Amino acid sequence: MTKKILTLTLLATTLAFSSALPREITRTIKQQSNSISTKIARTLVKRGIEEDKALEIAQNFTNDNEDLLSIMVSNYLHHTGTKQEAFYNELSKLALLRKKADFSSYSFLVKLTQSLNKTPLKSENLKKLEELSTNNSLLQEVFA
């Protein structure tokens, strides 16, 4: 019940303020989401994949909802303090293997963070990841 109320509140707030968002912010979000696939493609090119194929792989990886993915990636990078280069290297591996990144999944976030840090996670990190997955799940519902 609380989750539904929170979802509805988040949805109402988003709808109320979405028309008030300046065009610049909307444009920035689109450029950032575009840059996710571009950064993944650049990383793949550095690994020796042809530019056209790398861009195709990156776009297939991010094709579901780039705006939502952009927000989730920003949240992840902000809350974990992960370096972008290492992060995009890991995402490029997933894209190359044709796996999907589910930033609303706690287990995915834990696996991603462990592979980036190469060390066991502390309980406070796990708590942050749990909160992040919950927030991302709510965002998914709003964008659905």
Please give the tally of structural domains in the chain: 1
In a domain, 74, yes or no: yes
Q: How far is CA 139 from CA 11, 20, 31, 58, 79, in A?
A: 9, 19, 19, 22, 16
pLDDT digits (tens, 9 = 90+) for 30-88: 444 457 989 999 999 999 999 999 999 998 988 767 788 889 999 999 999 999 999 99
Would you say residue 9 lies in a domain? Answer: no
Q: Is residue 8 part of a domain?
A: no
Distance CA 136, CA 117 (A): 21
Q: 94 in helix, strand or coil? A: helix
Domain span at 137: 22-143
* 6 occurs within a structural domain: no
pTM over 0.85: no
The answer to whether the CB of 37 falls within 8 A of the CB of 77 is no
The conformational region for residue 98 under phi > 0 = left, psi -120 to 50 = alpha, else beta, is: left
Any domain includes 15: no
- Residue-wise pLDDT for 101-144, tens only, equals 999 999 999 999 999 998 889 999 999 999 999 999 999 888 87
In the block, which residue shows the tokens 């990190």? 125
